Amino acid sequence: MSDQPTTPDRLAAFLADTARHFQGTLTPAGPQAWTLTNPAKHPNLLGPDGLTVSTDAEASLLDPELSLLAEGTPLLQTLVRRIREQGLSLFKGRYRWQWPAATVKARLKDGLIPARTRTTVSETDEISLRAVFRIRFHREFVQEDVLRLIVDGQGRSWSGARNLEGHEGLLEPVATLSLPWEQVQERYQRAVFAAEEALLPTIMDHKAELATLLKRETQRITTYYDEVEASGEYADEIDDPEAMAVALAALRKDRAKLLAEQRLRYQLGVQVQPVSLGLLHSTVTTVTIGDHAIVFHPLLADPILPICDGCARRVPVARFTPAPYCNTCAGLL
């Protein structure tokens, strides 16, 4: 988004673009108000009855049916996000790389499972959705991050997807979409949810840091204004009690304004934006041990390990008896 001030005209133009993009229709619904209908392909995109919006804050306050479209409103952010998501093309193809048998063997031997464990190796073809999200944390500064994850053939999400840069030669486009559209959408929703879930700890960290900074700044401002008020220096040159009251009110207004500015400054904004989506057919290698499996998914950098029966973590297995136990739990249980 540009730094130019958003005028109602620019918002109206944005709305017209949005309607064109979604292939919906935009009809005037009053001064500075419009109704945006749902596109035929997505009859619920903007709610069951479409959306009636206004760029006039006062009008939207008076009419509960009227959503306000203004800079910084959730509505504008949602529309921008939806356009971006729709503008994103879905790559459909085959990913021709798979875990080499020798690498699988070497990884297993490298302490993933106990030596001499009886294993069976099988290969299956499946379609996964691979999603790359650009994450932006807006605070006093902007921090950017990239999140790569997949939703596998069974609809389970996994983070730690491989960076496919340099692997373009292994991606072979396929014309037909082998999954029903609803399922693709479901997997995409799952990916978005997984991305948000993965971000939660980082969000909490940012929020805690910001709360500390805000507290410090609030205290600094409060102490300063308390001192100025107590000393009376703001009215040193004034004798008239009425003028003094006016000066005091002005001082308090300054304080409130400054405090409000700090609250805004130390707010966290999080943007999760999909930048690459691929529906990829690939061959998955599964190593089975009894009822348990270690999955070597070609789109993931590391194998998916079974869950330890003791601590529920996915970590190397020390023994199967018959449930998997990690090193720590094997000694305790």
329 in contact with Zn ion (CB under 5 A):
yes
Residue 55, Cα to own-chain centre: how many angstroms?
27
- Closest to Zn ion by CB, 250 or 311: 311
Secondary structure (DSSP) of 309-325: TTT--B--EEEESSSEE
Would you say 90 or 311 has its CB closer to Zn ion?
311
- Written as one string, the DSSP assignment of 166-188 is T-GGGEEE-SS--S-HHHHHHHH
| CA distances in angstroms from 96 to 61, 176, 178, 286, listed in the order given | 56, 17, 17, 17
Our CB check for Zn ion shows the closer of 150 and 326 to be: 326
Please state the closest distance from residue 325 (CB atom) to Zn ion, in A.
Answer: 6
Which has the closest alpha carbon to 192: 279, 128, 144, 131? 131
- Told to check if 310 binds Zn ion by CB under 5 A, we report yes
300 touching Zn ion, by CB under 5 A: no
# binding residues, Zn ion (CB under 5 A): 5
Q: What is the DSSP letter of 288?
A: E
Contact yes or no for 121/284 (Cβ under 8 A): no
User: CB 308 → Zn ion: shortest distance, Å?
Assistant: 3
Nearer to Zn ion, 289 or 308 (CB): 308
Nearest CB to Zn ion, comparing residues 36 and 305:
305
Site string for Zn ion, 250-289 (x = CB under 5 A): ----------------------------------------
Residue 129 binds Zn ion (CB under 5 A): no
Structure-token match 């609030």, residue found: 218
- The whole-angstrom separation of Cα 307 and Cα 288 is 14
Task: Report, in Å, the least distance between residue 115 CB and Zn ion.
Answer: 19
Nearer to Zn ion, 290 or 310 (CB): 310
How far apart are CB 323 and Zn ion at their closest, in Å?
10
Q: Element (H or E) spanning 141, and its range?
A: none
- What are the beta bridge partners of residue 279? 92, 129
Of 38-46, 78-86, 145-153, 306-314, which segment contacts Zn ion by CB under 5 A? 306-314
Q: Which is nearer to Zn ion, 298 or 324 (CB)?
A: 324
Considering the rule CB under 5 A, would residue 308 count as an interface residue with Zn ion?
Answer: yes
Measured distance CA(107)–CA(240) in Å, rounded: 85
Min. distance of Cβ 321 from Zn ion in angstroms? 13
From 112-120, 160-168, 271-279, 301-309, span contacting Zn ion (CB under 5 A):
301-309
Name the minimum Å distance from CB 302 to Zn ion: 18
Q: Quick check: 305 binds Zn ion (CB under 5 A)? A: no
CB-based burial, 299-318: b 16+ in 10 Å, e otherwise: bbeebbbbbbbbeeeebbbb
Shortest distance, CB of residue 307 to Zn ion, whole angstroms? 9
**Distance in Å from the first CA to the final CA of the chain:** 56
Residues at the contact surface with Zn ion, assessed by CB under 5 A: 308, 310-311, 326, 329
